[in-house]
Amino acid sequence: MKIEFKSCEHLDYEPNYGNCKRQLISCGETKLCWKRLAFAPMNDLVQFCKKRGRINSPTGCLTKDNATCSDFKGINRTVDVPDKELES
């Protein structure tokens, strides 16, 4: 499934996080976050930043208003996520 949305260029959606699955969320449009499987229910929906590490918010850095640092740079992105990897 291809998911198109805007977010900070530093957010990471590559499947490099062994204890996490990509999760669809709706916040004005469909976007992605990560579901931490071993840590539910505390901080179970997060983002991962290539510069800052884990962001304990599913909407962190998806928009400038939710930016967690001053390095936010918004981009349009397309992430191709196989259906079997999505956690619904």
Summarize pLDDT for 58-82 with one digit per residue, the tens. Answer: 999 999 999 999 999 999 999 998 8
- What is the number of structural domains in the chain? 1
DSSP state of 14: S
Asked whether residue 57 is assigned to any structural domain, the reply reads yes
Q: Angle at Cα 51 formed by Cα 83 and Cα 43, nearest 5°?
A: 55
> What domain range includes position 19?
2-83
* Phi-psi label, residue 43: left if phi above 0, alpha if psi -120 to 50, beta otherwise: left
Distance in angstroms (rounded) separating the CA atoms of residues 25 and 80: 15
Asked whether residue 88 is assigned to any structural domain, the reply reads no
DSSP state of 65: G
- pTM, entire model: 0.86
Q: State the amino acid at position 35 in one-letter form.
A: K
Asked whether residue 39 is assigned to any structural domain, the reply reads yes
30-36 and 45-49: which strand pairing? antiparallel
**What does the block give as tokens for 58?**
């599913």
**Percent of the chain topping pLDDT 90:** 52
